[in-house]
Structure 1
């Protein structure tokens, strides 16, 4: 168990950690996507159990109430020293790469190890290639393993991971709680807009407003009562977008100045993303900005999908490519490349039945992942309670 096959571990032992009293959860991820998802999961855990200390390692982004640690070398004595210092009650392991010595040390201290996001892929370790592969032995130390689906589960069964510890699940996602909005304001605006088709351009960049306005003009030819809600991404974008909207010769409602939309309003201009929880609920179709213009990397599409919006987006979504790919595969999102394709997509999808089908697919993705997080949190809570009462 001393070695791992594949890559080198840390070159030197990490600095000693002063463990605080009380329950402690250690989270580890091997990629940015898994790291973001695990950070969200741990944030929810802290909301439910504020007494829990979170220690994180690997590719998890820094969190204000979590301690970042470096992993020790994959030598049994170093790993045992590390685990003795940290004394984790629960380890959330979102990594395809295994550290047999480290996992063995954690299990030896009575830590409950929960594997997350197991893929249908090899399980690399760092053992010399002339030694037997220790992956199966390392996986046997897990109390639970949640896979990305049936194919990943079949692979693990062939490796000897069977029984109730194996959970057919789905990819782990970074899904924050849905954005809020005032119920009364939503009811009033929904009543005002009854019967009108509405689409939203959220997190809009100034470089994209020309394409969005051209797309709106195209769609209005087929849906004369169509309303566009434009939400700039930043104050700089707001100033430039406001200027372009006012020069468009369309009827504009300036939300920030207290205007309310009427039967003749063609564009509602909001000042910032602060009220996106309201706009997502009112617009069944949303174009997510920062995606047609290069250099921004797109916006988190789960923000819109969690509130029932069908999603349109441009080709520049490198920061959230996995999330968009998942929604496209489910039928909840569609890519557009310019003003013409955006206008065509809006004209087609603004029909209630078309947008509803995509929104339902997006909600299925979000709800299945929410159920996964709930199950993991419940298992972690049970393990923490059992350690406390032991």
Structure 2
């Protein structure tokens, strides 16, 4: 460490001295063996990072992972992932040291900005390899610390590998004086779903029963959306008389009442979960089993993702449907999956509708083979584009772990 860096950090640590208050992790013991500490600066990146963690643990099953969020993050908004998730302590010297003493990570990875000098520089001093991905030159200092020279550069320079999402972010970090050998460019991590295989004989049987008829799927449909979906289906059948709808209900207890309701609406319906039969004149195939969605998403070139059309909904995950080659339609209320839907919409892999009439029009339009194929291709490119980046990071983490020889980090 250079003298100027030493003086700046010493001054910063004096200014930010303090001990951890009400640590959220003290009741969670450190797992045995290797531990990866992974900090997620933005709630919007949580889902993609969980996907990466699962892929990493497939490659290294004995690795434990602890996730941290910013000190002021409301963890009740973060979905339960099965990994320990705690708030990083506030930017105080003693708090940072206590955090590292407790978890003793073997490798650290930071996603995004909000870099906190105390915990990062302390980790680097302990010899913990640090990786910065989706890098931003955004340092979150304690009060009074911003006037210190080069604190941003000293903090970022603690990372052995820095991966920037854009050429501009890479240039900004290099301009700080960070060695170009550390700085690389790569797109952000994306979720890469891995749908389970489906028995080929059942898939052939269902396709044979449908006899080449046009089919669309409405998945995770809430009771408030039933009328809109059925109205859209009636509208679409005026243009496509042999059209079949696979109606998958979000609440399994609604399947029986909905079947009885359909029988009074002059729509020929079969309850797949009870009979498993599709006849030539069947217009609606009712399904409630979540595990059967893999079948219907393979059969249907177009999927409407329910839980999105009525106010108060939050949207269902569209990526498995996309991975299985289905063009996606969705309503406007998808804030729970907003980033995913925005990405699919921009790429032309999904379409947003607001009403039953718009839904019916979209079904007819997207069932045209060229339209469905173009959307499916756009969706496949999104699903697969993050795989090389994830594979590279998995190799990088494993290399750092192997270099350390496993076990706990030094204290």
TM-score, with length taken from structure 2? 0.85
Relative to structure 1, is the Cα distance of residues 70 and 334 closer, same or farther in structure 2, using a 3 angstrom cutoff?
closer
Residue 163 (structure 1) aligned with residue 175 (structure 2): no
Q: Secondary structure of 1:221's match? A: helix
Q: Provide the residue aligned with 2:21 in structure 1.
A: 12
Residue 286 (structure 1) aligned with residue 309 (structure 2): no
Please say if residues 129 and 400 of structure 2, whose CA atoms lie closer than 8 Å, have aligned partners that are also in contact: yes
2:33 corresponds to which of 22, 25, 29: 22
Please say if residues 288 and 312 of structure 1, whose CA atoms lie closer than 8 Å, have aligned partners that are also in contact: yes
d(CA) in 2 for partners of 1:118, 1:240:
52
Q: What does residue range 86-101 of structure 1 map to in structure 2 within 5 Å?
A: 86-101=103-118
Relative to structure 1, is the Cα distance of residues 140 and 297 closer, same or farther in structure 2, using a 3 angstrom cutoff?
same
Please say if residues 209 and 244 of structure 1, whose CA atoms lie closer than 8 Å, have aligned partners that are also in contact: no
Q: What does residue range 8-157 of structure 1 map to in structure 2 within 5 Å?
A: 12=21, 14=23, 16=26, 18-58=29-69, 61-64=79-82, 66-118=83-135, 123-127=138-142, 128=144, 129-132=146-149, 134-157=151-174
Q: Secondary structure of 2:239's match? A: coil
Q: Secondary structure of 1:118's match? A: coil
Relative to structure 1, is the Cα distance of residues 267 and 342 closer, same or farther in structure 2, using a 3 angstrom cutoff?
same
Please say if residues 104 and 138 of structure 1, whose CA atoms lie closer than 8 Å, have aligned partners that are also in contact: yes
Identify the range of structure 1 (342-351 vs 266-275) with the bigger mean alpha-carbon deviation. 266-275
Please say if residues 13 and 73 of structure 1, whose CA atoms lie closer than 8 Å, have aligned partners that are also in contact: no
d(CA) in 2 for partners of 1:10, 1:225:
70
**Alpha-carbon deviations, 1:35-94, whole Å to 9, x = none?**
222222222222332211212211664443x33444334233442343233221111211
Question: In the comparison of the two structures, how many residue pairs are matched?
Answer: 385
RMSD (Å), alpha carbons:
2.7
Q: What does residue range 1-390 of structure 1 map to in structure 2 within 5 Å?
A: 1=9, 3=12, 12=21, 14=23, 16=26, 18-58=29-69, 61-64=79-82, 66-118=83-135, 123-127=138-142, 128=144, 129-132=146-149, 134-161=151-178, 163-388=180-405
Relative to structure 1, is the Cα distance of residues 237 and 88 closer, same or farther in structure 2, using a 3 angstrom cutoff?
same
Q: Any stretches of 5+ residues in structure 1 without a counterpart?
A: none
Please say if residues 20 and 92 of structure 2, whose CA atoms lie closer than 8 Å, have aligned partners that are also in contact: no
d(CA) in 1 for partners of 2:340, 2:189:
10
Which protein is bigger by CA-based radius of gyration? Answer: 2
Identify the range of structure 1 (103-112 vs 324-333) with the bigger mean alpha-carbon deviation. 103-112
Q: Secondary structure of 1:256's match? A: coil
d(CA) in 1 for partners of 2:19, 2:370:
54
Deviation at 1:18, TM superposition (A): 4.4
d(CA) in 2 for partners of 1:91, 1:203:
38
Deviation at 1:219, TM superposition (A): 1.2
d(CA) in 2 for partners of 1:9, 1:289:
49
Please say if residues 206 and 240 of structure 1, whose CA atoms lie closer than 8 Å, have aligned partners that are also in contact: no
d(CA) in 1 for partners of 2:152, 2:319:
34
Please say if residues 125 and 134 of structure 1, whose CA atoms lie closer than 8 Å, have aligned partners that are also in contact: no
Please say if residues 300 and 320 of structure 1, whose CA atoms lie closer than 8 Å, have aligned partners that are also in contact: yes
Please say if residues 238 and 272 of structure 1, whose CA atoms lie closer than 8 Å, have aligned partners that are also in contact: no
**Alpha-carbon deviations, 1:191-232, whole Å to 9, x = none?**
333532211100011111111111111111212222111100
